[in-house]
């Protein structure tokens, strides 16, 4: 009885307090001690980023000899949770590494617009769009992230296909896959959709083979017509690839990172929609398949009127927290972290496609040269334009589509509702 | 343990209701005013550190969390939104699914208790090799959920050894972690596998207090094994069983996160979400701290109900003793 009284008192008090304060925390400037900048990332602990950071630090030290820089590497799985806590507290790192797209846009109100500070880099670097919200730029791009279709040239040769001429239409692509599967036993696509990422890559890659250029640009600009037959076609195509047994087995329980990539590397599947930077990219695959045997192709044309292009955006970039003491110094650190010299190291060591397009990649093999050549005609990825909430929902719906527990119409309807809700 | 209310450790202050109830008829020893005051204050001073710690580190964060659950996220950060977050939770099929999974865990509780109970019975009855089994059964309890999850991820992969085994005996492969109808049971199964060793030890300790003459008597009377278990072992171990029920329940409700995170990430199709995982996703991945606070409050209320039930269960067990 007494206990119940205590608890009800607690709850009543809680309810009385309800609705004041904020879950997002206060935004008073409190971080960033004088003469020191703290950087949060998930990269600085990796050996492949060592030379990159060293060059960036040296560049920054030349400009601001009195300022020390501390890099704090956080575990990526916990990164945005930890960052959320720091944002709520209104203090923490001065310079923050972000993934482009939803992750930075959702947290833009904790960041400083950098347009004035980074104006000089505007031309040299590309991929700004992924770090912008409402016309303001919140980070300087370091790498580009995109989704080429990689293919195994050895499997093409074994199947009697010409590896120099991958299919350009969906019907020939499906026919080629059938040939590869009968002659080599390899599946068409290595697919890992346990995390629900498979659909994101699929949407962005095959999207350019389905949507007309106008529809594509409208999608990116936020005018997404979920009722259009072409949008539905993309999700129907996702289901078709499963029903036609083009995908590797057990896609819903296969992790994309890195089980599906392992399937591709071990030649159990002929194609994989991979990444350009970080992991699951040309450099990773080259180590297993050799650089010469790794091909990169654009999406086949699924619907007439579509012009396939390479989907890519800014991959990772450094932003500056609103609470930093001296925004100019912090922005200068961002400039050093995106300097040509530093990015050159990052490209060479980590295999990232750097945001600086002036870097020469001709030594990297045919796959990387194709990717960089495709950048010019490339467009922002379709999935990056969606909110994290819609992406989360899309991940679950994509699993239901694969298992057949939801129809394409129903899935698209739910996605439209989530997308339009914000 | 709850303090028995009938025997207060500190004499009640004379100004309290006890005094009024006595309406002055009981003579109180006369002392100096200062002495009485310090005596009156002493219990509060002595309790203060513990109370302050509780208030600051337990109740205050709790209140803040409940408070945040009535504010908005994103653009509405910091402004009162009333019950909007709770309404959103009530409409979110994912959260409702997570609550349904909590219900499923409660339903699976008897299985999770019966397994160590049965195995402990066999060990107690000295089946051949019982010494080996005793240590083998306990072994998984020392592994962290992440390691257990990683091991079973490999074993249960679609092209993994278990499916290869099934294929070998002519059965089709099962997508253990990719089929929404199967995945939750698999994760619970792995959790039981990983933790039943602890319950087994508790059961064995309970068996140590079992009156052997009862078993002998049952044997003399010609009772079969099921009869012995039902009429001798279960009644004698009722307190142990209650304790294991309570601790297993707590374990299932609070420590599945690691396994879920490693094995299914809440998938497939969101079928293995539990409230904890939902809170983590909303706060960490979707940047909805206020909604996560609301979900936390709901989880807290559920745990409160479960906890009070458990306390009353334990209290009854103690009283029976």
Residue recorded with tokens 């979920």: A226
Give the pLDDT score at B230.
86
Q: Which two tokens stand for residue A193?
A: 């959709």
Q: What is the pLDDT of residues B260-311, one digit of tens each?
A: 999 998 989 999 999 999 999 998 888 888 999 999 999 999 988 988 887 7
Token digits for B220?
A: 């003399």
Percent above pLDDT 90 for chain A = 72
The distance of A173 to chain B (nearest Cα, Å) reads 26
Closest alpha carbon within chain B to A255: B264
Query: Closest partner residue to B287 among A106, A195, A396, by Cβ?
Result: A106
DSSP-assigned letters across all residues of B206-244: HHHTS-HHHHHHHHHTT--HHHHIIIIIHHHTHHHHHHH
Residue B104 near residue B278 (C-beta atoms within 8 A)? no
SS3 track for chain A: CHHHHHHHHHHHHHHHHCCCCCCCCCCCCCCCCCCEEEEEECCCCCHHHHHHHHHHHHHHHHHCCCCEEEEEECCHHHHHHHHHHHHHHCCCCCEEEEECCHHHHCCHHHECCCCCCCHHHCCCECCHHHHEECCEECEEECEEEECCEEEEHHHHHHCCCCCCCCCCEHHHHHHHHHHHHHHHCCEEECCCCCCCCHHHHHHHHHHHHHCCHHHHHHHHCCCCCCCCHHHHHHHHHHHHHHHCCCECCCHHHCCHHHHHHHHHHCCCEEEEECCCCCCCCHHHHHHHHCHHHEEEECCCECCCCCCCCCEEEECEEEEEECCCCCHHHHHHHHHHHCCHHHHHHHHHHHCCCECECCCCCHHHCHHHHHHHHHCCCCECCCHHHCCHHHHHHHHHHHHHHHHCCCCHHHHHHHHHHHHHCC
- pLDDT tens by residue, B151-164: 999 999 998 999 99
Answer for the pair A381, A146: CB distance below 8 angstroms, yes or no.
yes
Check CB contact of B286 with chain A, cutoff 8 Å: yes
- CB neighbour class for B200 (10 Å; exposed up to 12, middle 13-18, buried from 19): buried
If we measure between CA atoms, which residue out of B24, B33, B229, B235 comes closest to residue B118?
B229
Collapsing DSSP to helix, strand or coil, B164 comes out as helix
Using one digit for the tens of pLDDT, what is the confidence trace for A8-34? Answer: 554 444 444 445 555 555 444 434 446
Q: For all residues of chain A together, what is the average pLDDT?
A: 89
Over range A379-401, report the average pLDDT: 92
Residues of chain A with C-beta less than 8 angstroms from the C-beta of B290:
23-24
B162-178 residues labelled b (16+ CB within 10 A) or e (exposed): bbeeeeeeeeebbbbbb
Please, which residues have CB within 8 angstroms of residue B248's CB and are 6 or more apart in sequence?
Answer: B109, B112, B113, B195, B199
Find the farthest-apart pair of alpha carbons in chain A and give their distance in angstroms, rounded. 81
Mean pLDDT of A59-84: 91
Asked whether the beta carbons of A397 and A411 are under 8 A apart, the reply is: yes
Task: Flag whether pLDDT at A42 surpasses 70.
Answer: yes
Instruction: Return the bridge partners of A169, or none.
Output: A301
pLDDT of residue B233: 86
What band does A240 get if pLDDT is binned at 50, 70 and 90?
very high
| pLDDT, average across residues B252-261 | 88
Q: What is the pLDDT of residue A214?
A: 95
CB atoms within 10 A of CB A352: 26
Q: What percent of chain B has pLDDT over 90?
A: 51
Taking the C-alpha atoms of residue B283 and residue B69, their distance in angstroms, rounded to an integer, is 12
Per-residue model confidence (pLDDT) at position A3: 56
Residue B7: its pLDDT value, please?
Answer: 44
In chain A, % of residues over pLDDT 70: 92
pLDDT value, residue A362: 84
Q: How far apart are CA B82 and CA B71, in angstroms?
A: 7
The pLDDT value given to residue B135: 86
pLDDT at B1: 41
Q: How confident is the model at residue B29 (pLDDT cuts 50, 70, 90)?
A: low
Tokens 């670097």 found at: A125
pLDDT of residue A210: 97
Smallest CA–CA distance, residue A186 to chain B, in Å, is: 14
Domain spans of chain B? Answer: 1-14+36-68, 86-320
Sign for the CA dihedral angle at A403, A409, A410, A414 comes to: positive
Range of lowest pLDDT (A6-20, A288-302, A339-353, B287-301): A6-20
pLDDT of residue A12: 46
- Mean per-residue pLDDT, B187-205: 93
More confident residue, B148 or B36: B148
CA torsion sign for B118, B121, B126, B132 is positive
> Quick one: tokens of A166?
């991958």
Set of chain B residues whose Cβ sits within 8 Å of the Cβ of A86: none
Q: Do B286 and A195 touch (CB under 8 A)?
A: no
| Chain B residues near residue A410 by CB distance under 8 angstroms | none
The chain-wide mean pLDDT, for chain B, equals: 85
Q: Which of residues 244-283 of B touch A (CB under 8 A)?
A: 264-265, 267-270, 280-281, 283
Residue B13, pLDDT > 70, answer no
Phi, psi of B2 (to 5 degrees): -70, 140
Cis peptide leading into residue B252 (ω within 30°): no
Per-residue confidence (pLDDT) for residue B20, from 0 to 100: 45
In tens, the pLDDT along B117-127 reads: 999 989 988 88
The pLDDT of residue B14 is above 50: no
Average pLDDT over residues A351-363: 88
Count CB atoms within 10 A of the CB of residue A420. Answer: 10
pLDDT score of A385 = 87
Nearest to B80 by CA among A246, A166, A380, A20: A20
CB B177 within 8 A of CB B96: no
Interface test with B, best of A187, A192, A250 (most B CBs within 10 A): A250
B265, closest residue in chain A (CA to CA): A195
- Burial zone of A43 (CB within 10 Å; 0-12 exposed, 13-18 middle, 19+ buried): buried
- What is the per-residue pLDDT across B36-50, written as a single tens digit (0 to 9) for each? 888 899 999 999 999
Residue A285, preceding bond cis, omega within 30 degrees?
no
pLDDT score of A152 more than 70: yes
Provide the pLDDT for residue B15: 45
At A266 the pLDDT is 94
CATH number at B86-320: 1.10.3720.10
* A250 Cβ under 8 Å from any chain B Cβ: yes
Question: Domains, chain A, ranges and CATH?
Answer: 36-145+313-366 (3.40.190.10), 148-309+386-420 (3.40.190.10)
**Is residue A4 pLDDT above 70, yes or no?**
no
* pLDDT (0 to 100) of residue B317: 65
Q: How far apart are CA A365 and CA A292, in angstroms?
A: 7
């Amino acid at each position: 009885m007494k206990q119940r009284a205590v608890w009800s008192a607690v709850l009543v008090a809680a309810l009385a307090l309800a609705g004041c304060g904020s879950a997002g925390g206060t935004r008073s400037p409190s971080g960033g001690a004088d003469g020191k900048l703290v950087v949060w990332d998930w990269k600085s602990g990796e050996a492949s980023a060592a030379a990159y950071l060293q060059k960036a630090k040296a560049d920054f030290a030349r400009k601001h000899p009195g300022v020390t820089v501390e890099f704090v590497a956080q575990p990526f799985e916990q990164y945005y949770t930890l960052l959320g806590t720091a944002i709520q507290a209104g203090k923490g790192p001065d310079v923050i590494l972000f993934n482009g797209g939803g992750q930075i846009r959702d947290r833009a109100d904790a960041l400083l617009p950098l347009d004035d500070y980074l104006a000089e880099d505007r031309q040299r670097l590309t991929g700004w769009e992924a770090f912008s919200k409402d016309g303001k730029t919140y980070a300087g791009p370091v790498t580009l992230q995109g989704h080429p279709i990689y293919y195994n040239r050895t499997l093409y040769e074994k199947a009697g296909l010409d590896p120099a001429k991958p299919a350009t239409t969906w019907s020939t692509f499906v026919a080629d896959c059938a040939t590869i599967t009968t002659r080599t036993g390899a599946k068409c696509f290595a697919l890992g959709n346990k995390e629900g990422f498979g659909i994101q890559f699929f949407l962005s890659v095959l999207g350019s083979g389905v949507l007309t250029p106008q529809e594509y640009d409208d999608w990116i600009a936020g005018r997404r017509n979920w009722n259009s037959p072409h949008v539905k076609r993309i999700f129907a195509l996702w289901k078709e690839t499963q029903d036609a047994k083009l995908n590797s087995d057990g896609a819903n329980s296969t992790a994309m990172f890195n089980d599906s990539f392992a399937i591709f590397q071990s030649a159990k599947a002929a194609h994989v929609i991979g990444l350009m930077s970080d992991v699951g990219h040309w450099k990773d695959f080259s180590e297993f398949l050799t650089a010469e045997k790794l091909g990169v192709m654009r999406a086949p044309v699924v619907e007439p009127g579509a012009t396939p292009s390479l989907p890519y955006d800014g991959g990772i970039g450094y932003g500056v927290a609103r609470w930093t003491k001296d925004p100019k110094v912090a922005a200068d650190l961002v400039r050093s972290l995106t300097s040509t010299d530093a990015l050159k190291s990052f490209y060479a060591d980590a295999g990232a496609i750097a945001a600086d397009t002036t870097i020469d990649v001709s030594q990297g093999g045919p796959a990387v040269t194709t990717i960089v050549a495709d950048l010019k005609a490339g467009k922002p990825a379709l999935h990056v334009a969606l909110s994290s909430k819609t992406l989360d929902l899309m991940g679950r719906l994509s699993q239901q589509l694969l298992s057949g527990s939801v129809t394409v119409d129903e899935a698209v309807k739910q996605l439209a509702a989530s997308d339009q809700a914000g | 343990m709850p303090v028995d209310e009938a025997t207060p450790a500190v004499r009640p202050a004379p100004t309290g209701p006890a005094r009024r109830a006595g309406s002055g008829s009981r003579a109180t020893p006369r002392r100096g005013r200062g002495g009485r005051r310090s005596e009156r204050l002493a219990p509060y001073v002595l309790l203060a550190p513990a109370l302050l710690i509780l208030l600051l580190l337990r109740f205050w964060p709790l209140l803040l969390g409940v408070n945040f659950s009535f504010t908005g996220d994103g653009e509405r950060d910091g402004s009162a939104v009333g019950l909007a977050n709770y309404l959103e939770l009530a409409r979110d099929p994912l959260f409702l699914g997570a609550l349904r999974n909590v219900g499923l865990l409660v339903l699976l509780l008897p299985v999770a208790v019966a397994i160590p109970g049965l195995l402990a019975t066999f060990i107690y009855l000295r089946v051949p090799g019982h010494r080996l089994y005793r240590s083998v059964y306990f072994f998984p309890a020392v592994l962290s959920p992440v390691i257990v999850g990683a091991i079973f991820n490999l074993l249960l992969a679609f092209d993994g050894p278990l499916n290869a085994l099934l294929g070998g005996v002519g059965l089709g492969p099962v997508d253990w972690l990719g089929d929404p109808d199967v995945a939750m049971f698999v994760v619970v199964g792995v959790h039981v596998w990983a933790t039943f060793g602890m319950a087994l030890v508790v059961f064995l300790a309970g068996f140590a207090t079992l009156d052997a003459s009862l078993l002998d008597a049952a044997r003399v009377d010609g009772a079969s094994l099921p009869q012995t278990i039902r009429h001798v072992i279960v009644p004698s171990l009722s307190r142990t069983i209650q304790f294991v029920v309570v601790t297993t329940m707590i374990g299932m409700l609070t420590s599945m996160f690691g396994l879920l995170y490693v094995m299914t990430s809440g998938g497939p199709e969101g079928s293995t979400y539990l409230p904890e995982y939902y809170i983590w996703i909303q706060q960490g991945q979707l940047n909805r701290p206020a909604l996560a606070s609301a979900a936390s409050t709901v989880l807290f209320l559920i745990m409160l109900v479960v906890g009070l039930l458990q306390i009353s269960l334990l209290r009854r067990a103690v009283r029976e003793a």
